[in-house]
Amino acid sequence: MRAVKRRAAWLLHRVLFVCCATLLPFSVAMNAENDYAEQRARLLVDIAGMAASSASYTGRSSFSPRVMQAIERVPRHAFVPESQRAHAYENRPLPIGEGQTISQPFIVALMTDMLEPRPDDVVLEVGTGSGYQAAVLAELVARVYTVEVLESVGKRGAQVLRELGYDNVHTRIGDGYEGWPEHAPFDGIIVTAAAPHIPQPLIDQLKPGGRLVIPVGPSGGVQTLVLIRKHMDGSVTRSETIPVQFVPLTRTAD
């Protein structure tokens, strides 16, 4: 009888061990997601604080609720290398390899807000990079076309976007300086690399009433974040906001 009881106790222990072992990865994943949720919440507070403190330069003391909700929804940790995931929700740029970075979340929020995206807009992004900015835009507009000149970077960003289900984002490897004329004109254009001047093809591919957001300035130095508005008569006006520092806009001929 004792042997039977010991056998039953062993079996019960074995079943409990197997169940716990099965649940352990799920528990770890849930803890990680909870940690990310808390980190995202802190990030939103940080972005809101920076928006308020920089209002004299940007003209925006806060960002639209739609933009902030998009920043909250997009899993930034999925767009950074494994080695950087502990820092994914810190309000700073992070390296993603090949001399490229994922932009500071505050800058992503600011540039997106400057674009004033609407649900039915079609937007062009020049510089796919990690894919993070494209994902934020995809939460806000009907379609995003994004171009990356570095093949390995562009393919990796496109893969992450596909895995996360962003089927309204269309990617291409190519020279972003030339835009994507087959799908122009665009309601908005965001450039996530610094150009010494504003590429004329991008102005040409902007719809009347559209907006172009781009960092302009020397490679390796301090640039200025610029907003271009294209008016209904085709004329454009330029507004400068804050100093920024982006990787240079690379061309296929470079």
Helices (H), 74-150: 105-115, 132-138
Residue tagged active-site, from 103, 152, 219, 239: 103
Give me the pLDDT at residue 253, please: 58
Pairing of strands 122-126, 169-173: unpaired
What's the burial of 193, exposed, middle or buried (CB within 10 Å: 0-12/13-18/19+)? buried
Low-confidence ranges of the chain (pLDDT < 70): 1-34, 253-254
Output the CATH code of domain 45-244: 3.40.50.150
Cis peptide bond N-terminal to 185, omega within 30: yes
Give me the pLDDT at residue 232, please: 95
Give me the pLDDT at residue 69, please: 97
Domain boundaries, the chain: 45-244
Side-chain-side CA neighbours of 246 within 13 Å: the count stands at 28
pTM listed for this prediction: 0.85
Give me the pLDDT at residue 24, please: 47
> The tokens 């596909």 sit on which residue?
162
Instruction: Identify whether 235 is a catalytic site residue.
Output: no
